[in-house]
Structure formats: structure tokens, C-alpha cells
Amino acid sequence: MSATMKDLAKETGLGLATISSYFNGGNVREKNREKIEAAIKKLDFEINEVARGLKTNHTKLIGVVIPELEMIYCAQIITEVEDILRNYGYATIVCDCRSDVKREEEALDFHFHRRVDGLIIMPTSRSGEGLKRFIDHNKPVVVIDRKLPDVDCDCVLVDNEKAVKDGVSRLIKAKHQKIGLIAGPKDVYTSDERIKGYRRALEEHGLEVDETLISRGDYTIGGGAKAVASLLDSRPDMSALFVSNYEMTVGAMIELNERGVRIPEELAFIGYDNKEFAYASNPRLSIVAQPTKVIGKIVAQQMLERLGGDSKKPGGIWKLEAEYIEGKSI
Amino acid sequence: MSATMKDLAKETGLGLATISSYFNGGNVREKNREKIEAAIKKLDFEINEVARGLKTNHTKLIGVVIPELEMIYCAQIITEVEDILRNYGYATIVCDCRSDVKREEEALDFHFHRRVDGLIIMPTSRSGEGLKRFIDHNKPVVVIDRKLPDVDCDCVLVDNEKAVKDGVSRLIKAKHQKIGLIAGPKDVYTSDERIKGYRRALEEHGLEVDETLISRGDYTIGGGAKAVASLLDSRPDMSALFVSNYEMTVGAMIELNERGVRIPEELAFIGYDNKEFAYASNPRLSIVAQPTKVIGKIVAQQMLERLGGDSKKPGGIWKLEAEYIEGKSI
């Protein structure tokens, strides 16, 4: 019923190869391009992407696996990635695995069976095992926020250690010595790196690391609130606090408000990410902010480059710097 | 190279019809199901979803169009929808149209050419024109947050008018008469309904509506901050403020902090959505919160029901209530 490529060839007087080239992003002279587009309109031609996928073995789908879509850090990166890829005709299928390794495996299965052309992942699992079959099938993989062992693919990271080191150093320079850290969960790459940054800041300033000043949350709002509560209870002498992700920053503020702790008079404070939240807080929070837009851009560009043919090149590593934004909380 | 359905039939001793039924969600006896699953493992069988899509004319893809993935309201609903649909084997392709009608059209084109099985949309455009071709092709459409004229499909709404009416009434009962409203953009359904709620609250309490107390933002953080600034400048006598979406609530708090306006002493305040932000604010904000999880559930269930065969039934309307959460800002 609907028009075929043959009909387009007939209508335009061009060869099938030219028509096919047009649809597959090949080189087509401007004049011919115009002819084809006029014919598409006239014949009400609809590309059958499904049939095309079977023929070219490309689905033009990119699988995305993230820990939590509701985390603003994820949402901001994905928005950027989706936007760029869509401009190149790629659709992104986003699977939120709720920071659960089992769900992450399922999501990888799901994408694999969907025959996605490439995979973008912010991993929950520490192992890169599940990614190997994509790489074995020549599907480019771009990893965000972590370097996975034994997997050769592009990684886009933030220099987490430096981000936290710089922040904590500012607290030290403001004459704080008893500085609490709300750290992330065990066995998470970003979490480990950020703790390293905290230790290095203290060491570089000749201060001893007191383990009882480190309290672990799980990167959630509730977990952040709890970790702050336990630190306030056990270390009432703490004079400054560094919180190492956005959701825990919100949780910390909830707990501090609940207890009526005054910032910065009773406690100096540095949070993480989301400039708008920092500005909307009273007093305005000092934060370390990750460059989500830039991360999204690099991830999308790297994926496109690999899809364009460079899938055999060894993986590269991009390490971006976080930004320190001064507030009134120190 | 990879195993086919025929290989599975041979391995299990079952008919091809049974194997096919298994993959297409049909009724298969438990004993046979186990046999098939064992064979899938043994033969390392991979379903070719692309080939299947061509054969069954089902892609198992659901197109989603939203104004902004970064809006927490969207992200929370989409997380829920994606989660439920994935459990039924459906992948969601999310297109963020940045509240732009032209981009929304492109996103609809994109989904249509992808031959999605159904469409979920939180519309930017006021017209339902772009949805008709989905409905004409028997693709179920579920609309969030708006009733579109001339389109017969399922709509999941929040009672926006009542949500705002109830909130503003609380300010009136707290003896406020000069109540400012940060309203949403023109020609947006939710925005119009919320303004209606503001007017009705005043009218029901015998107060006159003073148009100079209504300032429009564009549902963004920046727009909210600007709208609040202009209201503070033009109406210094205003004693209470109602802000009618989440992002503008954040913007309002930024502006109020900037100016050092004390809440509730100098200005009573009710914001919108995102309990966590309300709790993390100092003082804790009173808010009207929309039931995003429930919305996501109903949207996904309705889509699944339609996909299951009920696509001819006339569209239904779900109207949900927002919740008022008391803080310390009045």
C-alpha cells in the first residue's frame, strides 16, 4: 500500500543506489537530495525502520543503562545524550536499574536482544563482564563515571578525587580541622575516589584522618540524612561537613534543618552538584559541581564516532574537572 | 550461525506453534515452558527482536514524548512507566522536546517512523493533530497532564484547579489577603487550570482577584525567579505567595534568598511538588505535591491494557488529587 524505494526511484528518475544512499546517510548530491525529498512528500513515503533494521543489521537504537533516572546527575547527562543522538537519527532506550546489580544484568540482556547498535552505561556492577558480549559483537560501549577492569572501551569520568580534595582543602583553609565526610556506598568507584580525595586533602595539610569522622550513605536522600544524623550524634565537636553527592546533600540539609543546626555558624558545609539547589538553599551552599552537559556531549560524540566506523580503536579515557562554586555556607 | 526456532522445536520435541506462542506471550503449559527455557540455554538461542518486529508488526517499543526530562515531575513519572513496561517486554524511547512545539512534532515523526506500538505524551502543543495518525494506525495513545481536543484517547490528569484552590485557601485562612501567584506560561493547560484554582479560592472567600498579584513564569527555575522579582518590586505589600510548579518554586527560593526575604515572617509561602526539596528548605516549605508514582502506574497500566487488545474502546479520563504537605512556611 505505501510507497517503496522503487517508487521513489521511478518518480525521481534516479537509481535505487542513490535512493538507498540517501536513506542510509551516504553522500548524495544536493540536486538529487531535493528531488528525493520532493518525491517523499508527493508519494507520502514512510521509511519502515523495522525492515531497514533487518536489512542493514543496524537498529539505530542506543541502549542506555543508568542507576537512577531520578538522580539529577543522570537526568542531565541523559537529556544531553538523547538530544545529540536523536539529531543523528538514533533513538535511545533508557533502562533505570535502581542501583541494583541484578536489574542491571536484566537491562543488559534486554538491550542485547533488542540488538542495539551501541551501549552507554553508568555501571552499578563493578565487573565489566556483562559488557563483553556487546564489544564481542562490535557494538561500541561508552562507560560513564567508572573505569571497568578488563573492558576495553571509552570511559568518561570526572576527577572525583580532585573534586573532593579541592573542596575539603577549602574547609581546612577556613581553619576547620574536624571535618566530617558523608561518603558514598562501599564498592562504588566514585565513592572510593571521593574518599581518597578527602584523605589526601587532610594529609597534604598535615592533618590526621580520623575514621570516626567518615560516615557512609548510599547516595540517596534518606541515606544522606541518616549518615549526617549519626555523625552529629557521635561527633558533636565536628565543625565542618563535606557531602559527596547531590541526593545526600539534600538529605543532609533535611536533617540539619530538622535539628535546627545553623549554617555556617555551627557547621560549615560543602555539598555536591546542582547549582540551583545550592542557590535556593538558605544560606546559599558552597558546592562541588560536576560538568553534566560536557559529559553528555563527550559521551554522545564518542558513541557517534565509534558508530561511524572507529569501533576497533582502543578505548580512550576522558577525565573532566568538577567546578567549585562558592556560597555562603563556610 | 545462531539457533533458530526450528532448532528449539527439534531440541524440545515440541511443535513450532508452541515455540512461537512462547515467544509471543501466548499460553504455554508450564512443563513445555520449562523445556523451552532449558533448550534456549543449551542452544544459546537469541531472539532477534528486529526480525520478530517485522513479522508480527509489533516492535515492542513505546514512544514517550515529554517537555523536559530534567523536570523532576517528568523524571519521576517516566521512571515508573519505564519500569512497569519493561517488565512486560516493552522498551520505552524517551524524547525530550524541551517544551518546543517544533521539536515535539519531530519527536512524533521520529516515533512514527520507528513504528512504536504505542505513544505516551505529556504534550507541549495544544493541538492533538500530531496524535491522530497514531490513533488511525491503531496505536494506543496515553496523554498525561492535559485533555486534548478532538483526540479520543486515555488521559491521566491531576486536578490542578483543586490543588491550587486548596493551597490558596490555606493562605486565606491564615489571614492573608494580598496573595501573589506565580503562574505558568500562557496557553498551557495545567497553567490555566491552576490560575482558575487561585481565582476560585479568592472568590469563594469573598475576596476580589487583583490581576497585578498574578505574575507569569515559564515553568523554569529562571522564569520563576524573574516572576517573583517583578512581583516583589511591584507589590511590596504582598504578604503571601503561591508558586504553581516545582522548578519555579526553586527559582522563587533563589530570588527570596538573594533578597533576604524572611519566610514566613515577611512572606508566607506555598510551593509545588518535590517533598524532598520542601524538607531541605529552611524553613521547611508547605507544598502541593502531585502523585507522580500513581500517575506513572496508571499510564503504564492503561497502555498495557490497550496493547492487550482494547484499543478500540473510547478513551478514559483519570483525574487524580494532589496532596497538601504542611511545612513551616505559613
Domains in chain B, CATH or no CATH each? 5-47 (no CATH), 56-158+292-320 (3.40.50.2300), 160-290 (3.40.50.2300)
Q: Which residues of A touch B254 (CB under 8 A)?
A: 276, 279-280
Q: How far is CA B87 from CA A106, B80, B84, B92, B139, in A?
A: 10, 11, 5, 11, 20
Q: Least CB-CB distance to B114: which of A72, A83, A91? A: A91
From CA A250, how far away is CA A229, in angstroms rounded?
Answer: 13
pLDDT computed for residue A47 by the predictor: 60
What pLDDT is recorded for position A58? Answer: 81
Residue-wise pLDDT tens digits, B163-210:
999 999 999 999 999 999 999 998 888 999 999 999 999 999 999 999
Q: What is the DSSP letter of A162?
A: H
B1 pLDDT band (50/70/90 cuts)?
very low
Confidence of residue B54 (pLDDT cuts 50, 70, 90): low
The answer to whether the Cβ–Cβ distance between B254 and A279 falls below 8 Å is yes
CA distance A250 to chain B (A): 6
Paired residues of A93 in beta bridges = A63, B93
pLDDT of residue A1: 42
pLDDT, residue B296, reads 97
pLDDT (0 to 100) of residue B51:
58
Q: Please report, rounded to a whole number, the percentage of residues in chain A having pLDDT higher than 70.
A: 93
pLDDT of B197: 98
pLDDT attached to residue A147:
84
Work out the average pLDDT over B258-282. 95
Name the closest residue on chain B to residue A263, using Cα atoms: B282
**With an 8 Å Cβ cutoff, are A93 and B96 in contact?**
no
Confidence of residue B278 (pLDDT cuts 50, 70, 90): very high
Residues 6+ apart with CB under 8 A from B260: none
Q: What letters, b where the CB count within 10 A reaches 16 and e where it falls short, cover A122-151?
A: bbbbeebebbeebbeeebbbbbbbbebeeb
Mutation test of the interface with chain A: which of B106, B282, B287, choosing the one with the most A Cβ atoms within 10 A? B282
B-proximal residues of A, 119-178, CB under 8 Å: none
Question: Which pLDDT score, from 0 to 100, does residue A249 have?
Answer: 97
Location of C-alpha cell 487488545: B309
Give chain A positions within 8 Å (CB) of B280: 250-251, 253-254, 257, 277, 281
Shortest CA gap B255–chain A (Å) = 8
Intervals of chain A under pLDDT 70:
1-3, 24-26, 45-56, 310-312
Q: A142, A167 in Cβ contact below 8 A? A: no
Helix (H) or strand (E) holding A218: none
Which range has the worst mean pLDDT, A145-159, B23-37, B72-86, B147-161? B23-37
How many percent of chain A have pLDDT more than 90? 62
- pLDDT score recorded for residue A114: 82
Dihedral sign from CA coordinates of B167, B168, B172, B176: positive
State residue B24's pLDDT score. 63
Cis omega before residue B283 (within 30°)? yes
Mean pLDDT of the B60-81 span: 91
The answer on pLDDT for B146 being more than 50 is yes
pLDDT (average), residues B263-270 = 97
Once rounded to an integer, what is the mean pLDDT over residues B318-325? Answer: 96
Mean of the per-residue pLDDT values for chain B? Answer: 90
Instruction: For residue A101, give the nearest of A141, A61, A65 by alpha carbon.
Output: A65
Region B15-27: mean pLDDT is 75
A329 reaches B (C-beta below 8 A): no
Q: Report the alpha-carbon distance of residue A71 to residue B21 in Å, rounded.
A: 39
**pLDDT 10s digits, B83-138:** 999 889 898 989 888 888 888 998 898 898 888 999 999 998 888 889 999 998 88
Cell output for A249: 546533600
Measure in Å the smallest separation between the Cα of A115 and chain B Cα atoms.
Answer: 7
**pLDDT at position A305:** 92
Task: Give the bridge partners for B318, in sequence order.
Answer: B156
A150: Cα separation from own chain's centroid? 21
